[in-house]
Amino acid sequence: MDFNKRAPESLCWLNGEIMPTAQARIPVLDHGLLYGDGVFEGIRFYQGRAFRLQEHLHRLSDSAAAIGLPLPLDQAALEAAVADLIEAFVVPDGYLRLVVTRGEGSMGLDPSSCKRGNVFIIAAQMELVDPDKRRRGIRVILAATRRLPVDGLDPRIKSLNYLNHILARMEASNAGAQEAILLNARGHVCEGSADNVFIVRNGTLLTPSVSDGALDGITRRQIISLARQEGIPCEEKTLAPYDLYTADECFLTGTGAELIPVREVDSRPLKQCPGAVFNQLQRVFLLLVRMESTDA
């Protein structure tokens, strides 16, 4: 099928074949569909090149190993699939969702009947918030829905089980906000429904630790690294709602989100939005993306 004349709304690479996403099918007995038994990665691509692909594939491999899921393809094959899909998508910038399911098996929780997983990658253009809200900052709430405890499901595993994040996001929509921040069982800040949380207090950048329930986000890691390169003090620290309410700045990071400033938390306006630290990190992050996407 020729995709070169015009990019469709989205494309899917499914077990070796590229097709319009609307035509992609997996069996209804796939345990990823029935039980959320699988892992995934979200990956941005810029100028036809996947950003930090090796880091994403390494995390995918770790997530799969943690749940005892054999990956049907090795890293080289996954890299080739990503490259083929980006080329077919035509549009140079976009978002990939790479999913590995347990595969088709018998009804029931026992995965032993699943002989081989399904792999699919979706390429699409995605904006989590409209450009005006991204420029002015978004409204967030603290969700009543809590983050799954770290002793129940390690936050380093990017599994297909996102129900509590979906419920939190529904809370945000019902409150007229653009995002929800989840707390852990102790009432400490973890992360957004699909992004990591940073605040700035007295010139220091603070973000919740993985041990508190935050995803070890790849964009999160990059922002921490860039902050230190820029001479901005940065700490992983346990944060309470009070810390968000009284922060000088707050912003969210993620592969899908990139960097998004927050202007109010639970209807409490923040002191700066976007603030000086956000603007500085946004500038150097975009410069990094530009350099890596054009580096031959």
Least confident stretch, 11-25, 96-110, 142-156, 273-287: 142-156
Residue 1 belongs to a domain: no
pLDDT surpassing 90 at residue 29: yes
89: nearest Cα among 24, 14, 21, 3: 3
Residue 217 belongs to a domain: yes
Same domain (yes/no): 209, 120? no
Same domain (yes/no): 157, 275? yes
Phi, psi of 83 (to 5 degrees): -65, -45
pLDDT computed for residue 295 by the predictor: 67
Same domain (yes/no): 101, 195? no
Upstream peptide bond of 274 is cis (omega within 30 degrees of 0): yes
Condensed to tens digits (0 to 9), the pLDDT of residues 186-228 reads: 999 999 999 999 999 999 999 999 999 999 999 999 999 999 9
Same domain (yes/no): 60, 119? yes
Residue that finishes a domain, picked among 124, 141, 165: 124
pTM: 0.90
Same domain (yes/no): 140, 248? yes
Domain limits at 29?
A: 10-124
Residue 3 belongs to a domain: no
Our count of domains for the chain comes to 2
Largest interatomic CA distance in the chain:
56
Residue pair 137/250 in contact by the 8 Å Cβ criterion: no
Same domain (yes/no): 21, 97? yes
Q: How far apart are CA 102 and CA 37, in angstroms?
A: 6
Same domain (yes/no): 30, 142? no
Same domain (yes/no): 16, 137? no
261: nearest Cα among 95, 173, 129, 142: 129
pLDDT computed for residue 4 by the predictor: 41
CATH label of the domain that carries residue 157: 3.20.10.10
Catalytic residues: 158
First to last CA, the chain: 29
Q: 3-state DSSP call for residue 122?
A: strand
- Per the structure block, which two tokens stand in for 42? 């979200």
Residues 6+ apart with CB under 8 A from 158: 39, 40, 41, 59, 60, 63, 215
Residue that finishes a domain, picked among 92, 108, 124: 124
pLDDT surpassing 60 at residue 267: yes
Same domain (yes/no): 281, 146? yes
Same domain (yes/no): 47, 172? no
Q: How confident is the model at residue 1 (pLDDT cuts 50, 70, 90)?
A: very low
pLDDT surpassing 90 at residue 96: yes
Return the HEC string of 178-224. Answer: CEEEEECCCCCEEEECCCEEEEEECCEEEECCHHHCCCCCHHHHHHH
Residue 289 belongs to a domain: yes
Residue that finishes a domain, picked among 89, 124, 159: 124
Same domain (yes/no): 267, 288? yes
Same domain (yes/no): 39, 23? yes
Residue 2 belongs to a domain: no
CATH label of the domain that carries residue 116: 3.30.470.10
Q: What is the mean pLDDT of residues 99-118?
A: 95
